[in-house]
Amino acid sequence: MIPALRYEWRRLFSIRSTWIISVLYLALVGVVGLLPIFVASPAAQSWEGLFSTPGNVLNAMILSVIAAQTFGHEYRYGVIRLTLSEFPAREKILIAKTLILSTYVVAMTLLAWAVLGAGGLIAGSEKVNSEASGFTISESQNSTQMWQVLAFGIGYCIFAMSITMLSRNLALGVTLPLLLATILEPLVGALLGIISDWFEPATKYMPLSSAQAWIVNAPDWPQAGLVFAAWVVGIYFLASFFFIKRDA
Amino acid sequence: MRVEVNNVDKHFRKLHAVNDLSFTVEPGRVTGFLGPNGSGKSTTMRLMLGLDNGTGETLFDGLPLAKYKSVTGVVGAHLDAKFFHPKRSALGHLKMLGAEANISKARIDEVIQLVGLSDVARKRPGGFSLGMGQRLGLAGAILAQPKVLMLDEPANGLDPQSIHWLRDFLKHYASLGNTVLVSSHLLGEMQLLADDVVVIARGTLVAAESVQAFLSRANSKSVLVRSNDVVRLASILSMNGFRVEIEGENAIKVIDATSEKVGEIAFQSGVQLSELFTEAANLETVFMELTASGMDYEIGAPVTGHDSAVIRSGESL
Protein backbone atom coordinates (compact mmCIF):
# COMPACT_ATOMS: atom_id res chain seq x y z
CA MET A 1 0.00 0.00 0.00
CA ILE A 2 2.87 2.37 0.79
CA PRO A 3 4.21 2.36 -2.81
CA ALA A 4 0.74 3.27 -4.11
CA LEU A 5 0.49 6.12 -1.60
CA ARG A 6 3.95 7.32 -2.58
CA TYR A 7 3.01 7.21 -6.27
CA GLU A 8 -0.22 9.14 -5.74
CA TRP A 9 1.46 11.72 -3.51
CA ARG A 10 4.09 12.31 -6.18
CA ARG A 11 1.39 12.52 -8.87
CA LEU A 12 -0.58 15.10 -6.92
CA PHE A 13 2.27 17.44 -6.11
CA SER A 14 4.27 17.17 -9.33
CA ILE A 15 1.90 19.40 -11.28
CA ARG A 16 1.80 23.12 -10.80
CA SER A 17 -2.00 23.32 -10.89
CA THR A 18 -2.18 21.58 -7.50
CA TRP A 19 -0.14 24.36 -5.91
CA ILE A 20 -2.02 27.09 -7.77
CA ILE A 21 -5.41 25.71 -6.75
CA SER A 22 -4.24 25.29 -3.16
CA VAL A 23 -3.15 28.92 -2.94
CA LEU A 24 -6.35 30.01 -4.69
CA TYR A 25 -8.41 28.05 -2.18
CA LEU A 26 -6.70 29.62 0.82
CA ALA A 27 -7.05 33.07 -0.73
CA LEU A 28 -10.73 32.54 -1.44
CA VAL A 29 -11.46 31.20 2.04
CA GLY A 30 -9.58 34.18 3.46
CA VAL A 31 -11.53 36.66 1.35
CA VAL A 32 -14.94 35.06 1.99
CA GLY A 33 -14.29 34.70 5.73
CA LEU A 34 -12.36 37.86 6.54
CA LEU A 35 -13.51 40.50 4.09
CA PRO A 36 -16.88 41.08 5.87
CA ILE A 37 -15.03 41.55 9.14
CA PHE A 38 -12.57 44.07 7.81
CA VAL A 39 -14.78 45.88 5.32
CA ALA A 40 -18.50 45.53 5.96
CA SER A 41 -18.29 44.87 9.65
CA PRO A 42 -22.03 44.41 10.25
CA ALA A 43 -21.47 42.95 13.66
CA ALA A 44 -18.87 41.13 15.60
CA GLN A 45 -18.13 37.70 14.20
CA SER A 46 -17.99 34.56 16.27
CA TRP A 47 -15.06 32.19 16.02
CA GLU A 48 -17.48 29.38 15.06
CA GLY A 49 -18.84 31.52 12.25
CA LEU A 50 -15.37 32.33 11.02
CA PHE A 51 -14.27 28.71 11.08
CA SER A 52 -17.36 27.54 9.22
CA THR A 53 -16.21 29.42 6.08
CA PRO A 54 -14.57 26.38 4.39
CA GLY A 55 -17.98 24.68 4.52
CA ASN A 56 -19.22 27.09 1.87
CA VAL A 57 -20.04 25.30 -1.42
CA LEU A 58 -17.96 27.77 -3.42
CA ASN A 59 -14.89 26.94 -1.35
CA ALA A 60 -15.59 23.23 -1.56
CA MET A 61 -15.88 23.60 -5.33
CA ILE A 62 -12.29 24.87 -5.52
CA LEU A 63 -11.07 21.78 -3.66
CA SER A 64 -13.22 19.58 -5.89
CA VAL A 65 -11.03 20.60 -8.84
CA ILE A 66 -8.20 18.69 -7.18
CA ALA A 67 -10.61 15.83 -6.51
CA ALA A 68 -11.69 15.69 -10.14
CA GLN A 69 -8.07 15.82 -11.29
CA THR A 70 -7.32 12.72 -9.22
CA PHE A 71 -8.77 10.60 -12.01
CA GLY A 72 -9.59 13.24 -14.60
CA HIS A 73 -6.02 14.09 -15.53
CA GLU A 74 -5.07 10.44 -15.75
CA TYR A 75 -7.88 9.54 -18.13
CA ARG A 76 -7.51 12.73 -20.14
CA TYR A 77 -3.82 12.20 -20.87
CA GLY A 78 -3.71 8.39 -20.92
CA VAL A 79 -1.50 8.27 -17.83
CA ILE A 80 -4.01 5.90 -16.23
CA ARG A 81 -2.56 3.13 -18.41
CA LEU A 82 0.91 3.75 -17.01
CA THR A 83 -0.51 3.90 -13.51
CA LEU A 84 -2.42 0.65 -13.86
CA SER A 85 0.58 -1.02 -15.49
CA GLU A 86 2.38 -0.38 -12.21
CA PHE A 87 -0.62 -1.35 -10.08
CA PRO A 88 -2.47 -4.25 -11.73
CA ALA A 89 -4.40 -4.72 -8.47
CA ARG A 90 -6.53 -1.65 -9.04
CA GLU A 91 -7.96 -1.61 -5.52
CA LYS A 92 -4.58 -0.45 -4.22
CA ILE A 93 -4.36 2.67 -6.34
CA LEU A 94 -8.05 3.41 -5.73
CA ILE A 95 -7.57 3.31 -1.96
CA ALA A 96 -4.34 5.31 -2.27
CA LYS A 97 -6.08 8.01 -4.28
CA THR A 98 -8.96 8.17 -1.81
CA LEU A 99 -6.64 8.40 1.20
CA ILE A 100 -4.36 11.01 -0.36
CA LEU A 101 -7.32 13.11 -1.47
CA SER A 102 -8.89 12.93 2.01
CA THR A 103 -5.56 13.85 3.61
CA TYR A 104 -5.17 16.75 1.21
CA VAL A 105 -8.68 18.04 2.04
CA VAL A 106 -7.99 17.76 5.77
CA ALA A 107 -4.65 19.56 5.37
CA MET A 108 -6.17 22.34 3.28
CA THR A 109 -9.04 22.80 5.73
CA LEU A 110 -6.56 23.03 8.61
CA LEU A 111 -4.54 25.58 6.65
CA ALA A 112 -7.74 27.49 5.86
CA TRP A 113 -8.56 27.59 9.58
CA ALA A 114 -5.03 28.82 10.26
CA VAL A 115 -5.52 31.64 7.74
CA LEU A 116 -8.92 32.51 9.23
CA GLY A 117 -7.57 32.27 12.77
CA ALA A 118 -4.65 34.55 11.96
CA GLY A 119 -7.02 36.99 10.27
CA GLY A 120 -9.34 36.88 13.29
CA LEU A 121 -6.49 37.60 15.66
CA ILE A 122 -5.34 40.52 13.51
CA ALA A 123 -8.90 41.86 13.43
CA GLY A 124 -8.92 41.82 17.19
CA SER A 125 -11.41 40.77 19.84
CA GLU A 126 -13.77 43.63 19.05
CA LYS A 127 -14.56 42.11 15.70
CA VAL A 128 -14.11 38.43 16.41
CA ASN A 129 -14.96 36.96 19.79
CA SER A 130 -16.68 33.98 21.33
CA GLU A 131 -19.66 35.96 22.62
CA ALA A 132 -20.64 37.38 19.24
CA SER A 133 -23.73 35.94 17.58
CA GLY A 134 -21.85 36.34 14.31
CA PHE A 135 -22.79 35.50 10.78
CA THR A 136 -22.13 31.98 9.64
CA ILE A 137 -23.05 29.68 6.83
CA SER A 138 -25.41 28.18 9.39
CA GLU A 139 -28.84 29.79 9.30
CA SER A 140 -30.04 27.88 12.32
CA GLN A 141 -29.55 28.44 16.00
CA ASN A 142 -26.69 25.99 16.20
CA SER A 143 -23.37 26.93 14.70
CA THR A 144 -21.72 24.68 12.22
CA GLN A 145 -19.21 22.52 14.02
CA MET A 146 -15.65 22.23 12.80
CA TRP A 147 -15.91 18.46 12.33
CA GLN A 148 -18.89 19.04 10.07
CA VAL A 149 -16.86 21.43 7.90
CA LEU A 150 -14.14 18.81 7.64
CA ALA A 151 -16.53 15.96 6.86
CA PHE A 152 -18.42 18.07 4.31
CA GLY A 153 -15.18 18.91 2.49
CA ILE A 154 -14.13 15.26 2.32
CA GLY A 155 -17.60 14.08 1.31
CA TYR A 156 -17.99 16.74 -1.37
CA CYS A 157 -14.56 15.96 -2.85
CA ILE A 158 -15.12 12.19 -2.85
CA PHE A 159 -18.46 12.86 -4.56
CA ALA A 160 -16.67 14.93 -7.25
CA MET A 161 -13.91 12.34 -7.60
CA SER A 162 -16.48 9.56 -8.02
CA ILE A 163 -18.33 11.44 -10.75
CA THR A 164 -15.02 11.87 -12.60
CA MET A 165 -14.21 8.21 -12.09
CA LEU A 166 -17.56 7.22 -13.59
CA SER A 167 -17.63 9.71 -16.43
CA ARG A 168 -13.86 9.92 -17.06
CA ASN A 169 -14.56 13.60 -17.59
CA LEU A 170 -12.70 16.14 -15.50
CA ALA A 171 -14.99 19.07 -16.26
CA LEU A 172 -18.09 17.10 -15.32
CA GLY A 173 -16.52 16.13 -12.00
CA VAL A 174 -16.10 19.81 -11.11
CA THR A 175 -19.28 21.28 -12.56
CA LEU A 176 -21.89 18.63 -11.80
CA PRO A 177 -21.66 18.81 -7.97
CA LEU A 178 -21.70 22.62 -8.15
CA LEU A 179 -24.66 22.65 -10.53
CA LEU A 180 -26.50 20.11 -8.39
CA ALA A 181 -25.95 22.19 -5.26
CA THR A 182 -26.78 25.58 -6.69
CA ILE A 183 -29.22 25.05 -9.56
CA LEU A 184 -30.38 21.55 -10.41
CA GLU A 185 -31.50 20.24 -7.03
CA PRO A 186 -33.33 23.45 -5.97
CA LEU A 187 -34.92 23.63 -9.42
CA VAL A 188 -36.04 20.01 -9.44
CA GLY A 189 -37.29 20.36 -5.87
CA ALA A 190 -39.28 23.46 -6.81
CA LEU A 191 -40.75 21.86 -9.91
CA LEU A 192 -41.74 18.73 -8.03
CA GLY A 193 -43.29 20.92 -5.34
CA ILE A 194 -45.42 22.61 -7.97
CA ILE A 195 -46.59 19.27 -9.35
CA SER A 196 -47.70 17.95 -6.00
CA ASP A 197 -47.23 18.64 -2.31
CA TRP A 198 -46.38 14.99 -2.00
CA PHE A 199 -43.07 15.64 -3.78
CA GLU A 200 -42.19 18.63 -1.63
CA PRO A 201 -39.73 16.81 0.63
CA ALA A 202 -37.89 15.43 -2.41
CA THR A 203 -34.90 17.72 -1.88
CA LYS A 204 -34.37 16.03 1.46
CA TYR A 205 -33.23 13.00 -0.47
CA MET A 206 -31.01 14.81 -2.94
CA PRO A 207 -27.27 14.61 -2.28
CA LEU A 208 -26.16 18.20 -2.02
CA SER A 209 -29.39 19.69 -0.74
CA SER A 210 -29.17 17.26 2.15
CA ALA A 211 -25.47 18.09 2.56
CA GLN A 212 -26.30 21.76 2.91
CA ALA A 213 -29.19 21.05 5.26
CA TRP A 214 -26.80 19.02 7.37
CA ILE A 215 -23.95 21.50 7.51
CA VAL A 216 -26.23 24.40 8.47
CA ASN A 217 -27.80 22.23 11.15
CA ALA A 218 -31.31 22.43 9.76
CA PRO A 219 -34.01 20.92 12.03
CA ASP A 220 -33.62 17.44 10.57
CA TRP A 221 -29.84 17.66 10.20
CA PRO A 222 -29.01 14.13 11.42
CA GLN A 223 -31.20 12.60 8.71
CA ALA A 224 -29.79 15.03 6.12
CA GLY A 225 -26.30 14.00 7.12
CA LEU A 226 -27.15 10.33 6.66
CA VAL A 227 -28.67 10.99 3.22
CA PHE A 228 -25.55 12.88 2.12
CA ALA A 229 -23.30 10.13 3.47
CA ALA A 230 -25.38 7.48 1.71
CA TRP A 231 -25.05 9.33 -1.61
CA VAL A 232 -21.29 9.75 -1.22
CA VAL A 233 -20.73 6.13 -0.22
CA GLY A 234 -23.13 4.86 -2.90
CA ILE A 235 -21.62 6.76 -5.80
CA TYR A 236 -18.10 6.01 -4.55
CA PHE A 237 -18.72 2.26 -4.54
CA LEU A 238 -20.48 2.38 -7.89
CA ALA A 239 -17.59 4.32 -9.44
CA SER A 240 -15.06 2.00 -7.79
CA PHE A 241 -16.83 -1.04 -9.21
CA PHE A 242 -16.62 0.37 -12.72
CA PHE A 243 -13.06 1.57 -12.22
CA ILE A 244 -12.00 -1.97 -11.38
CA LYS A 245 -14.11 -3.70 -14.03
CA ARG A 246 -13.83 -1.42 -17.06
CA ASP A 247 -11.02 -1.33 -19.60
CA ALA A 248 -8.43 1.29 -18.72
CA MET B 1 11.58 -14.10 -17.63
CA ARG B 2 9.35 -16.07 -19.99
CA VAL B 3 6.01 -14.54 -20.91
CA GLU B 4 3.23 -16.96 -21.77
CA VAL B 5 0.09 -15.65 -23.39
CA ASN B 6 -2.60 -18.28 -23.03
CA ASN B 7 -5.91 -18.17 -24.92
CA VAL B 8 -6.29 -14.44 -24.66
CA ASP B 9 -9.58 -13.30 -26.14
CA LYS B 10 -11.37 -9.98 -26.34
CA HIS B 11 -14.61 -8.73 -27.87
CA PHE B 12 -15.62 -5.12 -28.41
CA ARG B 13 -19.34 -5.64 -28.87
CA LYS B 14 -19.56 -7.33 -32.30
CA LEU B 15 -15.87 -7.00 -33.08
CA HIS B 16 -13.76 -9.99 -32.12
CA ALA B 17 -10.58 -7.97 -31.54
CA VAL B 18 -8.38 -10.75 -30.18
CA ASN B 19 -9.23 -14.33 -30.99
CA ASP B 20 -7.97 -17.01 -28.62
CA LEU B 21 -4.38 -15.89 -28.94
CA SER B 22 -1.56 -17.98 -27.48
CA PHE B 23 2.17 -17.48 -27.84
CA THR B 24 5.33 -17.33 -25.78
CA VAL B 25 7.89 -14.56 -25.58
CA GLU B 26 11.30 -15.91 -24.67
CA PRO B 27 13.91 -14.23 -22.47
CA GLY B 28 17.19 -13.09 -23.97
CA ARG B 29 15.56 -12.38 -27.33
CA VAL B 30 13.81 -9.51 -29.04
CA THR B 31 10.37 -10.54 -30.24
CA GLY B 32 8.70 -8.48 -32.92
CA PHE B 33 4.92 -8.22 -32.68
CA LEU B 34 3.57 -7.67 -36.17
CA GLY B 35 0.19 -7.26 -37.73
CA PRO B 36 -1.74 -4.92 -40.05
CA ASN B 37 -3.51 -1.86 -38.68
CA GLY B 38 -6.40 -2.87 -36.45
CA SER B 39 -5.16 -6.44 -36.16
CA GLY B 40 -5.27 -6.32 -32.36
CA LYS B 41 -1.62 -5.78 -31.42
CA SER B 42 -2.22 -2.93 -29.00
CA THR B 43 -5.29 -4.62 -27.55
CA THR B 44 -3.26 -7.77 -26.98
CA MET B 45 -0.56 -5.79 -25.20
CA ARG B 46 -3.18 -4.12 -23.00
CA LEU B 47 -4.68 -7.51 -22.22
CA MET B 48 -1.24 -8.85 -21.33
CA LEU B 49 -0.79 -5.97 -18.89
CA GLY B 50 -4.26 -6.35 -17.40
CA LEU B 51 -5.36 -2.94 -18.65
CA ASP B 52 -8.26 -4.39 -20.61
CA ASN B 53 -10.59 -7.08 -19.42
CA GLY B 54 -10.81 -10.19 -21.51
CA THR B 55 -10.54 -13.91 -21.12
CA GLY B 56 -7.38 -15.97 -21.00
CA GLU B 57 -4.27 -15.21 -19.01
CA THR B 58 -0.75 -13.90 -19.35
CA LEU B 59 1.88 -15.40 -17.11
CA PHE B 60 5.21 -13.84 -16.28
CA ASP B 61 7.45 -16.71 -15.20
CA GLY B 62 4.32 -18.66 -14.41
CA LEU B 63 2.53 -15.94 -12.45
CA PRO B 64 -0.05 -13.34 -13.45
CA LEU B 65 1.12 -9.75 -12.92
CA ALA B 66 -1.35 -9.12 -10.13
CA LYS B 67 0.41 -11.80 -8.03
CA TYR B 68 3.66 -9.84 -7.94
CA LYS B 69 4.18 -7.61 -4.94
CA SER B 70 5.90 -4.99 -7.09
CA VAL B 71 5.34 -4.96 -10.83
CA THR B 72 7.80 -2.26 -11.91
CA GLY B 73 10.75 -4.65 -11.71
CA VAL B 74 8.83 -7.28 -13.66
CA VAL B 75 7.46 -5.41 -16.65
CA GLY B 76 8.02 -1.98 -18.11
CA ALA B 77 5.59 -0.84 -20.76
CA HIS B 78 5.60 1.98 -23.27
CA LEU B 79 2.23 2.03 -25.00
CA ASP B 80 1.95 5.51 -26.47
CA ALA B 81 4.24 8.45 -27.06
CA LYS B 82 1.66 10.85 -25.64
CA PHE B 83 0.91 9.20 -22.31
CA PHE B 84 2.05 12.02 -20.05
CA HIS B 85 0.58 15.10 -18.45
CA PRO B 86 1.62 17.94 -20.76
CA LYS B 87 2.40 20.25 -17.84
CA ARG B 88 4.27 17.82 -15.60
CA SER B 89 7.97 18.11 -16.42
CA ALA B 90 9.73 15.14 -17.96
CA LEU B 91 11.69 14.80 -14.73
CA GLY B 92 8.51 15.01 -12.66
CA HIS B 93 6.87 12.39 -14.87
CA LEU B 94 9.73 9.97 -14.32
CA LYS B 95 9.85 10.71 -10.59
CA MET B 96 6.16 9.84 -10.42
CA LEU B 97 6.64 6.59 -12.32
CA GLY B 98 9.64 5.75 -10.17
CA ALA B 99 7.88 6.48 -6.89
CA GLU B 100 6.36 2.99 -6.67
CA ALA B 101 9.76 1.31 -6.61
CA ASN B 102 11.52 4.20 -4.85
CA ILE B 103 13.80 4.73 -7.82
CA SER B 104 16.75 6.93 -6.90
CA LYS B 105 17.30 10.38 -8.39
CA ALA B 106 20.64 9.13 -9.73
CA ARG B 107 18.91 6.36 -11.70
CA ILE B 108 16.33 8.80 -13.07
CA ASP B 109 19.13 11.14 -14.20
CA GLU B 110 20.94 8.18 -15.75
CA VAL B 111 17.88 7.16 -17.75
CA ILE B 112 17.19 10.73 -18.86
CA GLN B 113 20.74 10.93 -20.13
CA LEU B 114 20.47 7.53 -21.78
CA VAL B 115 17.43 8.51 -23.84
CA GLY B 116 18.91 11.91 -24.67
CA LEU B 117 16.45 14.15 -22.83
CA SER B 118 18.93 15.83 -20.43
CA ASP B 119 18.48 19.25 -22.02
CA VAL B 120 14.71 19.19 -21.68
CA ALA B 121 14.33 17.21 -18.46
CA ARG B 122 12.83 20.12 -16.57
CA LYS B 123 10.64 21.26 -19.43
CA ARG B 124 6.97 20.47 -19.82
CA PRO B 125 6.51 17.69 -22.36
CA GLY B 126 3.38 19.26 -23.87
CA GLY B 127 5.57 20.77 -26.56
CA PHE B 128 7.64 17.66 -27.17
CA SER B 129 7.86 16.19 -30.67
CA LEU B 130 6.62 12.65 -31.28
CA GLY B 131 10.21 11.42 -31.15
CA MET B 132 10.86 13.10 -27.82
CA GLY B 133 7.62 11.65 -26.49
CA GLN B 134 8.83 8.21 -27.55
CA ARG B 135 12.08 8.75 -25.67
CA LEU B 136 10.21 9.83 -22.55
CA GLY B 137 7.93 6.80 -22.81
CA LEU B 138 10.92 4.51 -23.20
CA ALA B 139 12.63 6.16 -20.24
CA GLY B 140 9.57 5.41 -18.11
CA ALA B 141 9.52 1.81 -19.25
CA ILE B 142 13.17 1.06 -18.45
CA LEU B 143 13.35 3.11 -15.26
CA ALA B 144 13.16 0.14 -12.88
CA GLN B 145 15.22 -2.10 -15.20
CA PRO B 146 12.32 -4.54 -15.64
CA LYS B 147 12.88 -8.10 -16.73
CA VAL B 148 10.23 -7.70 -19.43
CA LEU B 149 10.00 -4.73 -21.74
CA MET B 150 6.82 -4.21 -23.80
CA LEU B 151 6.92 -1.44 -26.37
CA ASP B 152 4.12 -0.48 -28.73
CA GLU B 153 5.44 1.15 -31.91
CA PRO B 154 8.44 2.74 -30.14
CA ALA B 155 10.18 3.77 -33.37
CA ASN B 156 7.33 5.94 -34.69
CA GLY B 157 8.52 9.49 -35.08
CA LEU B 158 12.16 8.71 -34.38
CA ASP B 159 14.87 9.99 -36.71
CA PRO B 160 17.23 7.45 -38.35
CA GLN B 161 19.96 7.96 -35.74
CA SER B 162 17.48 7.42 -32.92
CA ILE B 163 16.10 4.29 -34.59
CA HIS B 164 19.63 2.97 -34.85
CA TRP B 165 20.20 3.78 -31.18
CA LEU B 166 16.91 2.13 -30.20
CA ARG B 167 17.80 -1.03 -32.12
CA ASP B 168 21.20 -1.29 -30.42
CA PHE B 169 19.69 -0.54 -27.04
CA LEU B 170 16.96 -3.17 -27.30
CA LYS B 171 19.37 -5.82 -28.57
CA HIS B 172 21.69 -5.06 -25.67
CA TYR B 173 18.79 -5.11 -23.21
CA ALA B 174 17.72 -8.53 -24.45
CA SER B 175 21.30 -9.79 -24.40
CA LEU B 176 21.30 -9.21 -20.64
CA GLY B 177 18.71 -11.97 -20.36
CA ASN B 178 15.68 -9.70 -20.44
CA THR B 179 12.54 -10.28 -22.49
CA VAL B 180 11.70 -7.67 -25.11
CA LEU B 181 8.42 -7.52 -27.02
CA VAL B 182 8.17 -4.77 -29.62
CA SER B 183 5.27 -4.07 -31.92
CA SER B 184 6.04 -2.16 -35.08
CA HIS B 185 4.90 -1.42 -38.59
CA LEU B 186 8.48 -0.79 -39.70
CA LEU B 187 9.14 -4.25 -41.07
CA GLY B 188 12.58 -3.48 -42.46
CA GLU B 189 13.58 -2.24 -39.04
CA MET B 190 12.04 -5.25 -37.37
CA GLN B 191 14.01 -7.60 -39.61
CA LEU B 192 17.20 -5.98 -38.32
CA LEU B 193 16.03 -6.00 -34.72
CA ALA B 194 13.97 -9.08 -33.93
CA ASP B 195 15.09 -12.61 -33.19
CA ASP B 196 11.52 -13.94 -33.14
CA VAL B 197 8.24 -12.71 -34.54
CA VAL B 198 4.64 -13.04 -33.49
CA VAL B 199 2.34 -12.16 -36.37
CA ILE B 200 -1.39 -11.63 -35.99
CA ALA B 201 -4.15 -10.64 -38.39
CA ARG B 202 -7.73 -9.87 -37.36
CA GLY B 203 -6.80 -10.84 -33.83
CA THR B 204 -5.78 -14.33 -34.87
CA LEU B 205 -2.31 -15.80 -34.64
CA VAL B 206 -0.62 -16.18 -38.02
CA ALA B 207 2.88 -17.11 -36.92
CA ALA B 208 4.99 -17.27 -33.78
CA GLU B 209 8.52 -18.38 -34.58
CA SER B 210 12.06 -17.22 -35.23
CA VAL B 211 12.61 -14.64 -37.94
CA GLN B 212 14.56 -17.22 -39.98
CA ALA B 213 11.71 -19.70 -39.84
CA PHE B 214 9.28 -16.97 -40.76
CA LEU B 215 11.34 -15.88 -43.77
CA SER B 216 11.55 -19.46 -45.00
CA ARG B 217 7.78 -19.33 -45.49
CA ALA B 218 8.23 -17.06 -48.52
CA ASN B 219 6.27 -18.57 -51.40
CA SER B 220 8.12 -16.94 -54.24
CA LYS B 221 11.73 -16.15 -54.80
CA SER B 222 12.64 -13.95 -57.70
CA VAL B 223 15.71 -13.19 -59.77
CA LEU B 224 16.50 -9.72 -61.03
CA VAL B 225 18.20 -9.63 -64.42
CA ARG B 226 19.74 -6.69 -66.26
CA SER B 227 20.71 -6.91 -69.88
CA ASN B 228 20.82 -4.72 -72.97
CA ASP B 229 18.80 -7.41 -74.73
CA VAL B 230 16.19 -7.75 -71.99
CA VAL B 231 13.21 -7.94 -74.36
CA ARG B 232 14.54 -11.03 -76.11
CA LEU B 233 15.53 -12.64 -72.82
CA ALA B 234 12.07 -12.00 -71.38
CA SER B 235 10.46 -13.71 -74.37
CA ILE B 236 12.77 -16.72 -74.10
CA LEU B 237 12.18 -17.04 -70.35
CA SER B 238 8.43 -16.88 -70.72
CA MET B 239 8.65 -19.53 -73.47
CA ASN B 240 10.47 -21.65 -70.88
CA GLY B 241 7.52 -21.31 -68.50
CA PHE B 242 8.72 -18.48 -66.25
CA ARG B 243 6.64 -15.52 -65.16
CA VAL B 244 8.47 -12.33 -65.97
CA GLU B 245 7.85 -8.78 -64.75
CA ILE B 246 9.42 -5.74 -66.35
CA GLU B 247 11.33 -3.75 -63.73
CA GLY B 248 12.65 -0.90 -65.84
CA GLU B 249 14.23 -0.13 -69.18
CA ASN B 250 16.88 -2.85 -69.04
CA ALA B 251 15.70 -5.02 -66.19
CA ILE B 252 13.25 -7.84 -65.61
CA LYS B 253 12.25 -9.84 -62.58
CA VAL B 254 11.85 -13.59 -63.04
CA ILE B 255 9.45 -15.08 -60.53
CA ASP B 256 10.03 -18.45 -58.90
CA ALA B 257 13.37 -18.93 -60.55
CA THR B 258 16.95 -19.48 -59.50
CA SER B 259 19.85 -17.40 -60.74
CA GLU B 260 21.56 -20.59 -61.96
CA LYS B 261 18.62 -21.49 -64.22
CA VAL B 262 18.18 -17.96 -65.58
CA GLY B 263 21.94 -17.69 -66.22
CA GLU B 264 21.93 -21.02 -68.02
CA ILE B 265 19.04 -19.99 -70.31
CA ALA B 266 20.67 -16.63 -71.03
CA PHE B 267 23.98 -18.34 -71.86
CA GLN B 268 22.29 -20.85 -74.15
CA SER B 269 20.40 -18.03 -75.89
CA GLY B 270 23.49 -15.93 -76.30
CA VAL B 271 22.11 -13.02 -74.28
CA GLN B 272 24.74 -11.05 -72.44
CA LEU B 273 23.83 -10.21 -68.84
CA SER B 274 25.06 -7.18 -66.91
CA GLU B 275 23.49 -8.22 -63.58
CA LEU B 276 21.99 -11.36 -62.12
CA PHE B 277 20.71 -11.10 -58.58
CA THR B 278 18.54 -13.35 -56.41
CA GLU B 279 16.16 -11.29 -54.31
CA ALA B 280 16.09 -12.76 -50.83
CA ALA B 281 12.74 -12.98 -49.09
CA ASN B 282 12.30 -10.19 -46.59
CA LEU B 283 9.99 -9.73 -43.65
CA GLU B 284 7.76 -7.41 -45.62
CA THR B 285 7.24 -9.89 -48.44
CA VAL B 286 6.35 -12.77 -46.14
CA PHE B 287 4.27 -10.50 -43.91
CA MET B 288 2.27 -9.28 -46.90
CA GLU B 289 1.74 -12.81 -48.15
CA LEU B 290 0.57 -14.12 -44.81
CA THR B 291 -1.58 -11.19 -43.74
CA ALA B 292 -3.06 -10.24 -47.10
CA SER B 293 -6.46 -11.60 -46.15
CA GLY B 294 -6.31 -10.16 -42.68
CA MET B 295 -6.32 -6.48 -43.56
CA ASP B 296 -9.11 -4.75 -41.69
CA TYR B 297 -8.65 -1.58 -43.67
CA GLU B 298 -7.68 -2.58 -47.17
CA ILE B 299 -5.95 -0.03 -49.28
CA GLY B 300 -6.34 0.47 -53.00
CA ALA B 301 -3.62 -0.18 -55.55
CA PRO B 302 -1.23 2.73 -55.97
CA VAL B 303 -2.12 4.98 -58.86
CA THR B 304 0.86 5.48 -61.17
CA GLY B 305 1.24 6.85 -64.65
CA HIS B 306 2.58 3.58 -65.99
CA ASP B 307 1.46 0.18 -64.82
CA SER B 308 4.17 -2.41 -64.65
CA ALA B 309 3.81 -4.94 -67.39
CA VAL B 310 3.55 -8.60 -66.50
CA ILE B 311 4.37 -11.28 -69.01
CA ARG B 312 2.77 -14.54 -68.04
CA SER B 313 4.39 -17.85 -68.85
CA GLY B 314 3.94 -18.79 -72.48
CA GLU B 315 3.34 -15.21 -73.58
CA SER B 316 5.76 -13.27 -75.70
CA LEU B 317 6.36 -9.55 -75.98
- Which of B46, B295, B25, B15 minimizes the C-alpha distance to B152? B46
User: DSSP letters of A14-57?
Assistant: TSHHHHHHHHHHHHHHHHHHHHIIIII--SPBPHHHHHTGGGSH
Number of domains comprising chain A: 1
pLDDT of A95: 96
Cα-Cα-Cα-Cα torsion A9, A15, A21, A27, nearest 10 degrees, comes to: 90
Q: Choose the closest CB to A77 out of B64, B84, B96.
A: B84
Identify residues of B whose CB sits under 8 angstroms from chain A CBs: 46, 49-53, 64-66, 68, 70-72, 75, 77, 79-80, 82-89, 92-93, 95-97, 99-102, 140
Residues of B in contact with A4 (CB under 8 A): 100
| 3-state SS class at A128 | strand
**Residue A224 lies in domain:** 2-245
Strand partners, A48: none
Distance between CA A222 and CA A230 in Å, rounded? Answer: 12
Q: Burial code of A60-75, b = ≥16 C-beta within 10 A, e = fewer?
A: bbbbbbbbbbbbbbbb
The pLDDT-based confidence of A55 (bands split at 50, 70, 90) is: confident
- A20 in contact with B, Cβ within 8 Å: no
Quote the pLDDT of residue B295: 52
Measured in angstroms, the CA of B95 and the nearest CA of chain A are apart by 7
- Chain A residues with CB inside 8 Å of B81's CB? none
Question: Could you tell me if the ipTM is greater than 0.90?
Answer: no
Angle between helices A57-77 and A90-123 (to 10 degrees): 150
Average pLDDT over residues A63-74: 94
Q: Which residues of B touch A248 (CB under 8 A)?
A: 46, 51-52
Q: Which tops the pLDDT comparison, A230 or A120?
A: A230
Residue pLDDT, tens place only, B168-181: 899 999 999 999 99
Q: Which of A19, A84, A85, A91 to mutate to test the interface with B (most CBs of B within 10 A)?
A: A85
Mean pLDDT of chain A: 88
What domains can be seen in chain B, in order of their start residue? 3-215 (3.40.50.300), 222-311 (3.30.70)
- CB of A118 closer than 8 Å to CB of A33: no
Instruction: Report the chain A residue with the minimal C-alpha distance to residue B50.
Output: A88
Select the residue from A7, A12, A14, A91 to test the B interface by mutation, using most B Cβ atoms within 10 A: A14
B-chain CB neighbours of A84 within 8 Å are: 49-51
pLDDT interval class at A36 (50, 70, 90): confident
The closest alpha carbon to A218, from A134, A148, A159, A151, belongs to: A148
Would you call A77 and B101 a contact, using CB atoms and an 8 Å cutoff?
no
